[in-house]
A and B are shown apart, each in its own frame.
Chain A
Amino acid sequence: AQKVTQAQTEISVVEKEDVTLDCVYETRDTTYYLFWYKQPPSGELVFLIRRNSFDEQNEISGRYSWNFQKSTSSFNFTITASQVVDSAVYFCALSEIGGYSTLTFGKGTMLLVSP
């Protein structure tokens, strides 16, 4: 069975601070995808990134970066110089590759960025 744990329920920061959202996963699959989604107050689920378990290179996209460490089964997400618009719930998710793959979500981390 697959499991995704986001231990941080809520994080509050002040604008311009850096913040890291933790994600730990469990799976018996040797190949899998990892995802991050953002859910702003408007409610939609916005895709941020997909990572293939073959590729442990870290990725940076603007103020966002992701650190994938297979040895610790973690896929952490860092926002640099946070902004008020980053306030949202962030979900980490996992799916197997191929077959009848489905997304297993963590419980989410609510990020509040205050001015």
Chain B
Amino acid sequence: DAGVIQSPRHEVTEMGQEVTLRCKPISGHNSLFWYRQTMMRGLELLIYFNNNVPIDDSGMPEDRFSAKMPNASFSTLKIQPSEPRDSAVYFCASSAPGGRGYTFGSGTRLTVV
């Protein structure tokens, strides 16, 4: 299994631009999570999906952030418009039913200048 695949690995963009992060979960996993990691706040959950349905998006910082999961094998996290304070590493993770194991992708390092 290729694991959780995130793209791009690095993204540098200018303030105000739209940014789209992508994630392909492990086949057979029915839960998908987006986490953000910053020095100040550590690893924080942004949103998670179960069977492609968003369950809790209370961690999404503001309306500039949106996430979709159109099918079991693909999810996106979009920031529009981006701001410098959005600079962070964004991780996608997936898990099988029951939360027995969480596998993380390699992360996307986003820099907004």
Contact = CB atoms under 8 A, between A and B. Distances in A.
Contacts of A104: 45
B45 A103 contact: yes
Give chain B's interface residue range (CB within 8 Å of chain A): 20 to 34
Given A43-B107, A45-B104, A100 B43 contact: no
Contacts of A43: 89, 106-107, 109
B16 interface: no
A77 interface: no
Contacts of A100: 31, 48, 50, 55-56
B-side binding surface: helix, strand, loop or mixed?
strand
Contacts of A91: 43
A50 B91 contact: no
Interface residues of A, number: 22
B100 interface: yes
Interface string B32-50: 0100000000110100101
B100 A50 contact: yes
A25 interface: no
B42 A107 contact: yes
A115 interface: no
Given A33-B99, A35-B102, A47-B101, A102 B48 contact: yes
Nearest to B44: A105
A47 B103 contact: yes
B90 to A, nearest CB: 11
B98 interface: yes
Interface string A75-115: 00000000000000001000111101111111110000000
Given A45-B91, A91-B43, A107-B42, 6 more contacts: A35-B102, A50-B101, A101-B95, A102-B99, A103-B102, A108-B42
